[in-house]
Amino acid sequence: MLIIFKKCPTVMQIYAGVFLSLKVLNPASISSLECWVQKTAVKLVQINGQRKYGGPPPNWTGPVPGPGCEVFISQIPRDIYEDRLIPLFQHVAPLYEFRLMMNFSGQNRGFAYAKYGDPLHAGVAIRTLHRHELQEGARLVVRRSTEKRQLSLGEMPAGVQREQLLQVLRGIADGVESLTLRPGKGGGVTAVVQYTSHYTASMAKKVLCEAFKKRFDIMITVKWQSFSGKPRQDADQAKLSASPPPGFPQVTLRSSLLPPPLLDGGHRPALGQYPSLPRPARPGREALLFGDAVALLRKVCDMLDLGPPLYSTQYLCSSPEGFLCFAFRVLIPGVPLPYTGMTRVLPGCSGAAQREEVYHAAAEHILRSLYQA
């Protein structure tokens, strides 16, 4: 018979507390980044979920890089920052720009973009650094970046004039390169706008809907223009998108991921349903510095012999602010009831990256629930 006392925390509660007290951040990594920034006087600017260096950097004398000059970097450990990444990619050639995607917690999101002065050096970076072992067990994936630079603006007024619209667009956001008007549905007009880079296009995409609503009292749609010439639905439309990201099933009203009752953020089994162990010895520093909630939850479950957590996810919707909303269900074999909940994440570069974000949020939710039980 198992008896659990509130004042005598389980191993899982102790590790959950450690996780929360560290706020998911590795203090050594943060200190290293701060020292590097101070020593090198590198300027990093954080904006809209990413931290950017350069674009251009100081003393850049070449032209603005064109298509094919950017590489996409994935499988970056969550507690690795620019002090390790920028010098590594600068060994190949000078960087025009480096962008590291960031979470609200202060961790990186596992991927970044590095832009060189020409496609040749971007290719050298791919050949040199793909599968590079950044730390034990962590090998980078480096590929050519697909830079989307065109936006499709739908539901424009029928009488809109190209030159006037071009002037308006340049007043809203930087980087407008060209504009083409095409017939739209219902007698309206669709404007295809080309920007100087993916970055300038993505920044414009975040503000165009609101700008047109505020200035002209009209609702437009903003979508990425695909290479085939057909606009692709994206999350920044005024309406919620019902199409799930690649690799995620569409949620139904009777989803098995959302058994009632779904409490504020999720359901958790009662504390008494977990096995109890005597208070363990103080864990080593290496164990305390886990920066990945998924890895930490797995380690705790292994210590308690509960079996590995099994994750299920379903896409719910995307919001006008650009967040993707998911339901999650985590089954721990040694625990009678599953954990369920909902979370929202920033869009990633692929279905796999987004799934990893949801797993991370689910594991963090479980650890937080245990600690607060």
CA distance 258 to 341: 7
Helix%, strand%, coil% for the chain, nearest 5: 30, 25, 40
Beta-strand ranges (E) seen in 161-287 are: 176-183, 189-195, 221-225, 231-232, 266-267
pTM above 0.75, yes or no: no
Q: Residue ranges per domain, the chain?
A: 11-24+242-372, 42-144, 150-232
pLDDT digits (tens), the chain, 373 positions: 333 333 444 555 555 554 444 445 788 999 999 999 999 999 999 987 899 999 999 999 989 898 889 999 999 998 999 999 999 999 999 999 999 999 877 889 999 999 999 999 999 999 999 999 998 888 999 999 887 889 999 989 888 899 999 999 999 999 999 999 988 877 788 999 999 888 789 889 989 999 999 999 999 999 988 654 444 443 333 333 334 555 555 444 333 443 333 333 444 444 344 343 333 333 333 333 335 788 888 888 888 778 889 999 888 877 666 678 888 889 888 777 788 888 887 766 567 777 888 888 888 888 877 655 4
Q: Do domains 42-144 and 150-232 have the same CATH topology?
A: yes
Q: Give, in order, the Cα–Cα distances in Å from 263 to each of 15, 267, 276, 343, 366.
A: 23, 5, 25, 13, 13
B/e letters for 290-315, b = 16+ CB within 10 Å, e = fewer, are bbbbbebbbebbeebebeebebbbbb
150-232 fold: Alpha-Beta Plaits (3.30.70)
What class is the 42-144 domain?
Answer: alpha beta
Distance from chain centroid for Cα 304: 31
